[in-house]
């Protein structure tokens, strides 16, 4: 009777440890897949951010602002530039 109980106890322990080993392997694979998905989403977001930064830089470039000022607002480059002399620093 004691031998049978010992064998059942050992079989239960081995089964439990085997289940734990298999569960850990499965969990590691699931977490690895989740990690890779998150990494791909991060790379995609970083690429979109780069594209948006380039668009913002283009939108606020001085050349574009000057073109809009000329074409849409009817502004032109100054033809005569008047300079006001700066008074001497000692007066």
Q: Is 88 a member of any domain?
A: no
Position 91 scores a pLDDT of: 62
67 CB burial (10 A radius; 0-12, 13-18, 19+): exposed
**What is the token pair recorded at 21?**
């080993």
**Residue 52 domain boundaries:** 11-71
**Total domains, the chain:** 1
Residue with tokens 């074409």: 71
Q: What pLDDT digit, counting tens, does each position of 6-60 carry?
A: 899 999 999 999 999 999 999 999 999 999 999 999 999 999 999 999 999 999 9
Indicate whether this model's pTM tops 0.75. no
Q: Is 66 a member of any domain?
A: yes
pLDDT for 90 beyond 90: no
Q: Is 53 a member of any domain?
A: yes
Q: Is 2 a member of any domain?
A: no
Q: Is 1 a member of any domain?
A: no
More confident residue, 81 or 70: 70
Position 72 scores a pLDDT of: 92
pLDDT for 77 beyond 90: no
Q: Is 45 a member of any domain?
A: yes
- What's CA 84's distance to the chain center, in Å? 51
Query: Does residue 77 contact residue 69 with C-beta atoms inside 8 Å?
Result: no
Q: Is 81 a member of any domain?
A: no
Q: Is 67 a member of any domain?
A: yes
């Amino acid at each position: 009777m004691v031998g049978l109980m010992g064998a059942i106890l050992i079989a239960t322990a081995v089964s439990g440890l085997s289940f734990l080993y298999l569960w850990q392997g499965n969990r590691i694979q699931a977490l690895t897949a989740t990690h890779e998905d998150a990494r791909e989403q991060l790379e995609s977001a970083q690429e979109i951010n780069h594209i948006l930064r380039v668009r913002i830089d283009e939108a606020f470039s001085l050349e574009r602002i000057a073109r809009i000022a000329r074409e849409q607002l009817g502004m032109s480059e100054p033809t005569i530039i008047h300079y006001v002399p700066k008074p001497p620093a000692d007066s």
